Structure 1
Amino acid sequence: MLASFLIMLREGIEAALIVGIIASYLARTGRSEYVPTVWVGVLLAAALSLFVGAAVLAVGGDFPQKTQELFEAAIGTVAVVVLISMVFWMRKASRSIRAQMQSEIDAVFADDRGPVWGLIGLSFFAVAREGLESVFFLLAIFQQSPGPAAPVGALLGIGCAVLLGFGIYRGGLRLDLRRFFLWTGVFVIFVAAGLAASVLRNLHEAGIWNFLQQPAWDLSRALPLSSVTGTLLSGMFGYHDTPAVGEVILWALVLGVTLFFFFRPAEPSASAPAASPARREA
Structure 2
Amino acid sequence: MFASLLIGLREGLEAALVVGILVAYLKRIGRADVLPRMWAGIGLAVALSLAIGAVLTFGAYSLAPGAQELIGGLMSLFAVAMVTWMIFWMQKAGRTMKATLEGGLDRALAQGGLWALVAIGFVSVAREGIETTLLLWSMVQSFGSAPLALLGALIGLAIAIVVGWLLARGAVRLDLRRFFAWTGGFLVIVAAGVLAYAIMDLQEAGALPGPFTAAAPIDPETGAVAIGLAAFPFGWAFDLSGAIAPDGTAAAILQATLGFTPRMTWLQVIAWALYIVIVGAFFLRGLPRRRGAKGSDAAAAASASAQSPNASGAEPASSTGNPLTTTEGTA
TM-score exceeds 0.5:
yes
Measured after TM superposition, the shift of residue 266 of structure 1 is 7.2
Which range is displaced more, 101-110 or 33-42?
Answer: 33-42
Residue type at the aligned position of 2:125: V
What are structure 2's unaligned runs of at least 5 residues?
Answer: 211-232, 289-302, 304-331
Separation in 2 of the partners of 1:55 and 1:68? 13
Residue 131 of structure 1 corresponds to which residue in structure 2?
129
Measured after TM superposition, the shift of residue 265 of structure 1 is 4.4
CA contact (8 A) 1:144 1:238 kept: no
Separation in 1 of the partners of 2:45 and 2:203? 36
Separation in 1 of the partners of 2:8 and 2:275? 22
* Residue-by-residue CA offset, 1:223-280 (whole Å, 9 max, x unaligned): 232211111222343321121122111100011000111111479xxxxxxxxxxx9x
CA contact (8 A) 1:75 1:139 kept: no
Separation in 1 of the partners of 2:135 and 2:287? 27
* Residue-by-residue CA offset, 1:137-185 (whole Å, 9 max, x unaligned): 1110111122311010011111111111111111212111110110000
Measured after TM superposition, the shift of residue 19 of structure 1 is 0.7
Separation in 1 of the partners of 2:22 and 2:183? 24
Residue 259 of structure 2 corresponds to which residue in structure 1?
238
Residue 50 of structure 2 corresponds to which residue in structure 1?
50
Separation in 2 of the partners of 1:225 and 1:231? 8
CA contact (8 A) 1:49 1:131 kept: yes
Which range is displaced more, 78-87 or 183-192?
Answer: 78-87
| Superposed counterparts of 1:88-99, under 5 Å | 88-99=88-99
CA contact (8 A) 1:195 1:237 kept: no
Residue type at the aligned position of 1:29: I
What are structure 1's unaligned runs of at least 5 residues?
Answer: 268-278
Residue 197 of structure 1 corresponds to which residue in structure 2?
196
| Superposed counterparts of 1:114-263, under 5 Å | 114=112, 116-147=114-145, 148-211=147-210, 212-263=233-284
Residue 230 of structure 2 corresponds to which residue in structure 1?
none
Residue type at the aligned position of 2:187: V
CA contact (8 A) 2:80 2:194 kept: yes
CA contact (8 A) 2:235 2:266 kept: yes
Measured after TM superposition, the shift of residue 83 of structure 1 is 1.3
Residue 273 of structure 1 corresponds to which residue in structure 2?
none
Indicate the SS of the match to 1:61. helix
Superposed CA RMSD in Å reads 1.9
* Residue-by-residue CA offset, 1:54-93 (whole Å, 9 max, x unaligned): 1222322111111111111011111111111111111111
Distance change >3 Å, CA 237–CA 266, structure 1 → 2: closer
Measured after TM superposition, the shift of residue 12 of structure 1 is 0.7
Residue 275 of structure 1 corresponds to which residue in structure 2?
none
Percent sequence identity over matched residues? 39
Q: Which has the larger radius of gyration?
A: 2
* Residue-by-residue CA offset, 1:13-55 (whole Å, 9 max, x unaligned): 1111111101001111122222233221111111111112212
Distance change >3 Å, CA 183–CA 71, structure 1 → 2: same
| TM norm structure 1 | 0.89
Runs of 4 or more, structure 1, over 6 Å off, are none
CA contact (8 A) 2:91 2:287 kept: no
CA contact (8 A) 1:19 1:38 kept: no
Residue 270 of structure 1 corresponds to which residue in structure 2?
none
Separation in 2 of the partners of 1:244 and 1:219? 12
Residue type at the aligned position of 1:155: L
Separation in 2 of the partners of 1:235 and 1:180? 20
Separation in 1 of the partners of 2:139 and 2:280? 21
Separation in 2 of the partners of 1:37 and 1:173? 29
Separation in 1 of the partners of 2:87 and 2:37? 29
* Residue-by-residue CA offset, 1:76-112 (whole Å, 9 max, x unaligned): 111111111111111111100001111111111222x
Separation in 2 of the partners of 1:79 and 1:213? 24
Separation in 2 of the partners of 1:196 and 1:265? 22
Distance change >3 Å, CA 265–CA 136, structure 1 → 2: closer
Indicate the SS of the match to 1:221. coil
Residue type at the aligned position of 2:245: P
